[in-house]
Amino acid sequence: MLLKRLLLAPILTSLCAAELVSIANYTGKHDSNCMFQQSITGAVVNDKLYTFGGCFKMAYVVDPNSDSPRERYGLDENRQNTTDLSQVYDIVKDEWSFETKTPIPIKHAQTEVAGNMIYFFNVKPEKRFSSMNMYKYDTALKLWTTLPDIPFLWDGNLMSCYDGHGKMYFAGSYDGQKRNIVQVLDTTNDQWSRSPIFMDKRLEIKKMICNQDHIKFIAKDLKRIEDQDTGTTVWYGGEIMSDALELFSTSYTDGTTVSDNYTFSLNHGSEPIGHFDNWIFVGNVGKTETTFYRLNTMTHENVTMATLPYDLAAPLIAPVNEREILILGGSEPFPFGRTHRNDIKKYNHKLIYTPLFAELVPVSPYIGKHKANCPQQSKITGTLVNGKIYTFGGCYALAYIVDPDDESDNTFRRYDEHQNVTESSHVYDIASDTWSFETNTPRPLAYASTIVVNKDIYFYNIGAKPRTTELHLWKYSTDTKTWSEPAQLPFLYHGNLLTCHKNDKMYFMGSGDGFQRNIVRVQNLLNNQWEDPIYLDKRINAKKLLCHDKHISVIGESLDKMEDDMKIFDFQQRDSVYNQNLINVYHNGSVQIADNFNVTLGHNRNGRRAQVLPVKEWFYIFGLNGSSNATEIIKINTLTLETVHLDTLPYALTNVLIVPTENDEIYLFGGGKEKIFGRITQVEQDPSVPKIKTYNHKFIVSPPAVVEEIADESSEQDGHFKLQVPYN
447-502 confidence digits (pLDDT tens): 999 999 999 999 999 999 888 888 999 999 999 999 999 999 999 999 999 999 99
pLDDT at 604: 56
Q: Is the pLDDT of residue 64 over 60?
A: yes
- Candidates 121, 124, 99, 336; CA nearest to 237 is 336
C-alpha dist (Å) from residue 369 to 4, 365, 426, 434, 669: 22, 11, 10, 16, 12
* pTM, to two decimals: 0.60
- Beta carbons of 425 and 437 less than 8 angstroms apart: yes
For the chain, what are the domain ranges?
Answer: 378-702
Residue 626 bridge partners (DSSP) = none
161-170, 265-274, 295-304, 458-467: range with highest mean pLDDT:
161-170
pLDDT at 399: 75
Measure CA 101 to chain center: 41
In 10 A of CB 555, how many CB atoms?
22
157 φ/ψ angles, rounded to the nearest 5 degrees: -90, 145
| 382/485 Cα distance (integer angstroms) | 18
C-alpha dist (Å) from residue 644 to 141, 177, 224, 512, 545: 46, 44, 39, 29, 19
Q: Is the pLDDT of residue 708 over 90?
A: no
In 10 A of CB 433, how many CB atoms?
11
DSSP 508-535: EEETTGGGT--EEEEEETTTTEEEEEEE
Cα-Cα end-to-end distance for the chain: 27
Higher pLDDT: 77 or 275? It is 275
What's the fold here for domain 378-702?
Neuraminidase (2.120.10)
DSSP 54-89: EEEE------TT---HHHHTT-SGGGEEEEEEEEEE
pLDDT at 709: 39
pLDDT mean over 266-292: 84
pLDDT at 530: 96
| 317/310 Cα distance (integer angstroms) | 15
Quick: pLDDT tens for 125-155: 887 667 899 999 999 999 999 999 999 999 9
pLDDT mean over 96-109: 94
pLDDT at 723: 42
| 176/609 Cα distance (integer angstroms) | 40
pLDDT at 545: 97
Q: Is the pLDDT of residue 504 over 90?
A: yes
pLDDT at 710: 38
| 468/393 Cα distance (integer angstroms) | 15
